[in-house]
Structure 1
Amino acid sequence: MTVHHDSADTPARLEARATWQVSRMHARVSRLLAAAFETDGAGLRSYHYRLLAALEQWGAMSQADLGRRTGIDRSDVTGALGELEPRGLVTRTPDPGHKRRKIVTITPDGVTRLGELDAVIDGVQEAFLAPLTPAQRREFLHLAARLAECPPDDGA
């Protein structure tokens, strides 16, 4: 169930909670991403983008490694690759050293499509960060990265 929250409809004790604000930001960016990929993604989604970006940056790798490096569950990687391969965006070939392992490679068409999806993602970034000045955007990204890199058991 998707719920849109207006700050006037939110209890005051939640407004002062960072976790509440982060969850609201996540919901907002999820809506922006879904709408942008629906309009301009030609049937692809943000997880397809993540897989293509990983393959383009790090090169060919096994499906299992691709899942680990992108944080996408192995079964979801298999399903997503099953959507990318028929479009000619990736290839999967048997690993000669391991019969059951498949090596995934981005194709030239995949690199082209990744560039097109960059524009979709750039539009979402612009829409998401629109309320902030350039200096605020830099500071937000710095702080968000810092929080994201903090170990889960570290309360600092």
Structure 2
Amino acid sequence: MDSFREIIAIGADRVKNNVRSGLTSMTPEKWIRLIIVVGAYALLRPYIIKLGAKQQMKALEHEHDQDAAAAAAAEISPNQLRGQIDIPENSDDEDALPGDKTETTAAVTATEWGKKARRRQRDVIKKLLDAEEERLRLEHEDEEDKDIEEFLVKE
């Protein structure tokens, strides 16, 4: 603890001596030079800060544009990368030979799918079509019910 106090006392003594000797040895030319430097700094500081802010804004906008471009590139779904496929209705491949790929495989632009994947995709497409047909059928029934309600007499 005593050594810490000694270090602080030595530091304070050195600062006091250096400042005193620096101020007493100043000539009028050095005072004028000091006043010019401090005044120029005081006058130019706001402009320097504005210039720094503009540079920082440009850097942030550039970074934001890069992030936006990366986000736009990341929004591509895997299905878009696979390409457009055309799955034939009769592509079960049970009777196909291993080397025969003429009519039994799906036309794929990016990758070749296996038999199970083609079956799963075909089943998904069938389910979607069935769901759409069911929705259209219910819509049509609702329209028919409305037509019949027009002719019913309310008592």
Specify the TM-score bucket, using the shorter chain as the normaliser: under 0.3
More helix by share: 2
Q: Report which structure shows greater RCO (CA 8 Å, sep ≥6).
A: 1
Say which structure is richer in strand.
1
TM normalised by structure 1 equals: 0.21
